[in-house]
Amino acid sequence: MAYQHIEVKPIAGALGAEIDGVDLSEDLGNAVFSEIQRALHENLVIFFRDQDITPDQQKDFGRRFGTLNIHPQYVPLDGHPEILPVLKEPEDTLNIGAAWHTDVSFLEKPSLGSLLYAIEVPDSGGDTMFANQYLAYETLSEGMRDMLEDMTAVHSDRVLSNPASAKNRNEGRSTLIREEAMTNDEICNEHPVVRTNVDTGRKGLYVNAAFTTRFSGMTEEESKPLLEFLYAHAVRPEFTCRFKWENKSVAFWDNRCTHHYALNDYPGKRRSMHRVTINGERPV
């Protein structure tokens, strides 16, 4: 069906589209917002250029999709607990998000989607890649799909919160883990390996290399070979798109059916973004 209020321009074959004709600093009417939602459901990740928005306007737009998450580990933006600064200073060696993942999948109700706003980006480098998890699921053999259908997997925040790895993570990074979040008490939850997106009815693969630790009822060692196969399959080049940021670009991705990866290929340069993360439902 054609769009009446916005222009939607796909940027790749697998997923991703740029949206024109929208000013996110304005109060969007329901007709415009429902086309934006449709564009998200059809393209999985959508991008807007040249948006002049304040932190409050970013949060207001995020709230159209659901309630906002306060990240359990990272230090938030001053005065805005719902905004995660995604910051890499020229002297930093590490960024956040440089592994294929879907946001906060270790929560009981992981994120529906994330809204990332570019404040300052390098002239080149610092792109973000996205991968379509519907395609990842649909291109598995029937035998593999049947086997995965009733399996669940454990997702843990330990890569962020475990005191040893959290301290290491804070070395060379400006986006910091809070001291009080560094604990051996893991946030751990089990989710279906094949997840149905309740908004589209489509099934996708829902395990990720950053937070999934094992299949339920199996050891990590037993789970590893199949998980590694699925992680590699999930991000085959033909399932991906790559977004080149400009200052004032916005991306909104559906965490239920995509993975993303923030490239760390801009040494000595600054990249500053604000992320708002929208709460989601318990995966089914």
Residues that bind ligand SIN (CB under 6 A): 86, 96-97, 114, 116, 128, 260, 262, 273, 275
260 is an active site residue:
yes
Instruction: Give least dist CB 99 to ligand SIN, A.
Output: 9
In the bound state with ligand SIN, the residue whose beta carbon lies nearer, of 86 and 209, is 86
Question: Least distance from C-beta 151 to ligand SIN, angstroms?
Answer: 26
**Nearer Cβ to ligand SIN (28/262):** 262
CB nearer to ligand SIN: give 155 or 203.
155
283 and 206 in contact (C-beta within 8 Å)?
A: yes
Catalytic residue among 103, 169, 195, 274: 103
Shortest separation between residue 57's beta carbon and ligand SIN, angstroms: 19
Q: Which is nearer to ligand SIN, 11 or 273 (CB)?
A: 273
Residue with smaller CB distance to ligand SIN, 218 or 263:
263
Task: Look up 275 and say whether it is catalytic.
Answer: yes
Residue 50 zone, left/alpha/beta (φ > 0; ψ -120 to 50; rest): left
Whether the CA torsion 76, 22, 103, 269 is positive or negative: it is negative
C-alpha pair distances (Å), 156 with each of 12, 98, 215: 32, 17, 12
Q: Which helix (H) or strand (E) holds 228?
A: helix 220-234
Residue nearest to ligand SIN (CB): 97
Catalytic residue (choose from 101, 191, 214, 259): 101
Find the angle CA(128)-CA(132)-CA(136) to the nearest 5 degrees: 135
Instruction: Identify the active-site residue in 169, 191, 256, 260.
Output: 260
Supply the minimum distance, in Å, between the C-beta of residue 216 and ligand SIN. Answer: 26
Residue 101 CB, shortest distance to ligand SIN, in Å, is 7
Residue found under tokens 């593999």: 144
Closest CA to 204 of 276, 278, 277, 130: 130
Q: Distance (Å, rounded) from C-alpha 7 to C-alpha 104?
A: 31
Q: What is the chain's Cα-based Rg?
A: 18
Other CB atoms within 10 A of residue 211 CB: 27
Instruction: Judge whether 101 counts as a catalytic residue.
Output: yes
Can 103 be counted among the known catalytic residues? yes
Active-site residues: which are they?
A: 101, 103, 260, 275
